[in-house]
Structures are given as structure tokens and as C-alpha cells.
Amino acid sequence: MILASFSAMAVWSQKIAFVDTEYILNNIPAYEAANEQLEQLSKQYENEIKAKFKEVEQLYEVYRTESVFLSNDLKVKKENEIVEKEQSAKKLQQTYFGQNGELYKHRETLIKPIQDQVYSAISALAAEKGYSVIFDKSTGYGLMYCESSLDVSDNILARLGYKK
């Protein structure tokens, strides 16, 4: 019984806090600027890819209208040309938007340093204030309720040099 009491006291003696990383990041101007830059880059890539697929579509339309007049050899040549253009467009799409594509690399370059700063500030606050655990309430995974007095998001912003 005594052992159970001591272990329960040990659990309750741990300090817990919450942060809202979405709130923190949205209050950092560099993060907003980086997101805007990524959005513009994404639109540029999308327009380029749309143009490539439109070119494929136009080639196909020309092929459909002319196919009755073409020899089998010319048909095969035109079909191969269309397939190559389509594969090229898909490859470009993968290059820009794929798992390790250009947009991902730009996101890593622009956003990750800011996220690392936030994580460092959270770690420093945890060490300074003696928090055992700091949850991120912006993800919402398993977090049903959070007492607002335990939210240290504004402290993190202050550590990073930003105001509410």
C-alpha cells in the first residue's frame, strides 16, 4: 500500500505543460513568409505541369483527327511521341511534388530551421521550469482537454523574441 502511494505521488509530482505549435508558428513572421514563398513556388510548379499536360492533350487531339489519314508507321510514331510527352510531364510532376521533390526540399530549407528554433525553445523552457512532459495540443492526438494555465505557448514565443 505504501509503495503504491509513493509511486502515485511520483507520477503526480511530475510537471506537465502544453504548447500549441500551430499558434506559435503562426505568430512568427518568418514562418508566414516562408509559407507564402512555398505557396508561390507551388503555383509556379503547378502551372508548368499543367502546361505540359495541356501539350499532351493537344497532341492527342491532333492525332485523333489525323489518325484516319496516317499510315501504321506514322500512327505508331505519333502514339510514341504522345506517350513520351506524357511520361515527361509525369516525371516533372514527381520531380517537383514527389516525396523528395523540389517543393519538399524548399520546405526543409525554409521551414525546418524555424521548427528547430521552436523545439529548442520548448526544450529550454522544459529544462528551466522542470517540466517532465510538454504536449503539443495543435495535433489533437489523444488530447481531450487542456487547462489553459498549463499552456506555455506564449512563453515559447517570448523566448523566440516574438509577442502575442
3-state secondary structure of 151: strand
> Residue 143: what pLDDT?
60
| More reliable by pLDDT, 136 or 10 | 136
Taking the C-alpha atoms of residue 155 and residue 93, their distance in angstroms, rounded to an integer, is 41
**Residue 144 pLDDT greater than 60, yes or no:** no
Q: Model's pTM, two decimal places?
A: 0.72
Which of 59, 50, 54, 55 is closest to 77 using CA atoms? 59
**Is the separation of the CB atoms in 156 and 121 below 8 Å?**
yes
**Residue 63 pLDDT greater than 80, yes or no:** yes
**Residue 10 pLDDT greater than 50, yes or no:** no
Give me the mean pLDDT over the 98-116 stretch. 94
In this structure, is residue 7 part of a structural domain?
A: no
**Is the separation of the CB atoms in 16 and 132 below 8 Å?**
yes
Kind plus residue range of the DSSP H or E element containing 32 = helix 29-66
Q: What is the pLDDT of residues 17-57, one digit of tens each?
A: 888 999 999 999 999 999 999 999 999 999 999 999 999 99
Q: Three cell numbers at 112?
A: 525546418
Q: Three cell numbers at 35?
A: 509559407
In this structure, is residue 34 part of a structural domain?
A: yes
**Is the separation of the CB atoms in 63 and 82 below 8 Å?**
yes
In this structure, is residue 118 part of a structural domain?
A: yes
Could you give the number of structural domains in the chain? 1
In this structure, is residue 154 part of a structural domain?
A: yes
> Residue 12: what pLDDT?
53
In this structure, is residue 6 part of a structural domain?
A: no
In this structure, is residue 164 part of a structural domain?
A: no
The pLDDT confidence band at residue 6, using thresholds 50, 70 and 90, is very low
**Structural domain span for residue 95:** 14-159
Percent of the chain with pLDDT over 70: 87
Could you tell me where the beta strands, DSSP code E, fall in the chain? 15-19, 131-136
User: What is the phi/psi pair of residue 135, to 5°?
Assistant: -90, 150
User: How do beta strands 15-19 and 131-136 pair?
Assistant: parallel
